[in-house]
Structure 1
Amino acid sequence: MAETQWLSLKWFTWETLQSFQWEFPIVFYAFYAFPLILLVWILIDRLKRQSLAIALTEKDIKWSPISILRHVPNIILLLTFTLLLLALARPQKTNEKVEQWTEGIDIMMLIDISESMQIEDFRPNRLEAAKDVARNFVMGRFQDRIGLVVFSGEAYSRSPLTSDYELLNTYIDDINFDLIEKSGTAIGSAIAVGTNRMRESESKTKVMILLSDGDNTAGNIDPIIAAELADAYDIKIYTIAIGKEGKVPFGQDFFGRTRYVENTLNETTLRKIAEIGHGRFFRVSDNQALEQVFELIDKYEKAEIKENRFKDTTDFYTVYLIWGMILFLLWLLLKSTFISNILQD
């Protein structure tokens, strides 16, 4: 507090008094005794008041406004007690700071961008639906490091593990079917690239989320062997099979009519990968189901958030104590003036 800050009259505004936290609010009960104290005070004053018998004519007995001044010392003393009670209640303000942290989880997302991800059984298509839920998933994390791998006939790392979620979502936005020219679905290669990105991670929890709509048809690494390698690095694997069975819309023909293709998906490989990775397998057939799966994974893989709370408390009782002392000294001074005349009318 600045040396002269106590001089401000703002300390006596109702707004300022309401803003305080009071360490000893029980002191305020003393204010209920004030009427009784005043009554006793007046009675004692009446009983002990000295009088002087004088003879005056009725016309010489006049009331003077100056006589009101005799109440000033009593008012000042009453204000002194009020200020001392405010100081005893110990007004203060507390600024609580919360520091949150978590050990964090390392998560690698593997997204299939093969040609079949253009199928429109999801809106607007499978890839765009996957990108939407991936973005929402990223923004819902706290201090986790997340990386991104895309794959079709080959697999490559789109983003290393990072906690810069805005940058990561930029990478997700830029995913398209032209990133990899080679056709096919290299699931084993994608798992291997993801494992390579996470193998030096010191995180206690490492998670891989694999999203694909097809069987392994490309790459030179068997998906099962790649999953066993990931398991050796304690990486948990969730697999998501995306797409409906049967006829599904896939673009338009020469006349602008919706074209349908027959879609099948062998779940065996993806189920086996999830089993080896001690994760779970999910099958989704629409946008809502895909969102629900990512929400479920988000709940499964939440790191415990710990927090420290710091309280920065500032006391303001000195303001009222200083004012109380000043008024008390003023009261003592007035006791020696004509205002506190021993003879009171």
Structure 2
Amino acid sequence: MVIIALARPQRTNEKVEQYTEGIDIMLVLDISESMDLQDFTPNRLEAAKETAIDFINGRIADRIGMVIFSGEAFSLAPLTTDYELLTDLVNSITFNMMDAKGTAIGSAVSTGINRMRESEAKSKVMVLLSDGDNNAGNVDPVFAAQLAEAMDVKIYTIAVGKDGMVPYGTDFFGRPQMIESYLNEETLRNIARITKAEFFRASDDQALENIFTKIDELEKAEIIESRYKETMDYYRPYLMWGILFFFAWMALKSTFFNNFLLD
């Protein structure tokens, strides 16, 4: 027993605590009439909404906000971690939420920056999704991008849609109608370049999903890990029993019982 006690038996439990410092993300979504084109299923807007919801539900501890725009911009949701609320808001987005026609990219970026101006997050990101050139609003997109860069906001831009003839509605006989679509990438490319982010071109549903997956990988929150070791000694019971047996042996050493054992 004493020998076992001297070996100092122990039991160690290791605890790991993880702390995630989230980032702030502003989703900026174009809801202009051209987003109703059907080169995506069922159209560009619905495909973007579905992918945005998957992106939202894939984040952990990140605050996410939402801006929608056409000829004007509107802040749909402030930065929040209530992903269920965000999902409901994205599902509720429709084309008739705004009367102003056109595509006000500069105004949309400015609105998103305004929502993020008090953010203290180490990483601030905006994801701008549009299918058109800036043709409305009173804010120049390049100026808005420079303002974002000054505030350390990276703007990932996604150009949605195909060039050429794309389906839009059906004719009297139920056959798909085709209209010409042209996408000017220059504005979106400039915004991404100025803010040191990336530009993407999405030509179908799968490409759009892959782009959001890549942005998700690029903008991962930092995970801080702390490890604690809790060690418990178990030598005391063995030492106590060893001492007890030793004194018992000493007490019985000169007794009849000990002599009987020796004989």
2:73 to 155, 177, 192: 155
* Letter of the 1:159 counterpart: A
Whole-Å separation in 2 of the counterparts to 1:344 and 1:328: 18
5+ long unaligned stretches in structure 2: none
Are 1:279 and 2:197 an aligned pair? Answer: yes
Deviations 1:18-58 (A, max 9, x none): xxxxxxxxxxxxxxxxxxxxxxxxxxxxxxxxxxxxxxxxx
Partner AA of 2:132 in structure 1: G
Q: 2:167 aligns with which of 227, 245, 249?
A: 249
1:100 equivalent in structure 2: 19
Matched residues, percent identical?
56
Compared CA separation, residues 99 and 272, structure 1 to 2 (3 A): closer
Structure 1 residues 157-214: Cα deviation after superposition (integer angstroms, max 9, x where no partner): 1111223334333332332333323332221111110011112223343222110011
Match of 1:42 in 2: none
Whichever residue aligns with residue 111 of structure 1, its letter is L
Using the alignment, how far apart are the partners of 1:150 and 1:320 within structure 2? 71
What is the TM-score when the length of structure 1 is the normalising length?
0.67
- How many residue pairs get aligned? The number is 263
Report 1 or 2 for greater relative contact order, CA contacts < 8 Å, sequence distance ≥ 6: 2
Aligned counterpart for 1:190 among listed residues 96, 108, 129: 108
Structure 1, 286-295 or 160-169: larger mean CA deviation:
160-169
The answer to whether the Cα contact below 8 Å between 1:114 and 1:152 also exists between their aligned partners in 2 is yes
Correspondent of 1:165 among 75, 79, 83: 83
Deviation (angstroms), 1:282 = 1.3
State yes or no: 1:235 paired with 2:153: yes
CA distance in 1, matches of 2:87, 2:44: 18
> What amino acid maps onto 1:101 in structure 2?
T
Q: What is the RMSD of the two structures over their aligned residues, measured on CA atoms? A: 2.6
Q: Write 1 or 2 for the structure with the bigger share of helix.
A: 1
CA contact (8 A) 2:8 2:233 kept: no
- Residue 219, structure 1, aligned to residue 137, structure 2: yes
Which amino acid letter does the alignment assign opposite residue 9 of structure 2? Answer: R
SS at match of 1:341: helix
Q: Which has the higher strand share?
A: 2
Question: CA offset at residue 221 of structure 1?
Answer: 2.2
Q: Partner residue of 2:181?
A: 263
Moved more, 283-292 or 171-180: 171-180
Q: 1:283 to 1:323 in 2, by over 3 A?
A: same
* Misfit runs of 4+, over 6 Å: none
| Counterpart-to-counterpart distance in 2, 1:231 and 1:177 | 30
What residue identity is the alignment partner of 1:132?
E
Q: What is the TM-score normalised by the length of structure 2?
A: 0.85
Partner in structure 2 of residue 309 of structure 1: 227
In structure 2, C-alpha distance between the alignment counterparts of 1:327 and 1:135, rounded to whole Å: 70
SS at match of 1:208: strand
Return the match for 2:29 from 83, 86, 111: 111
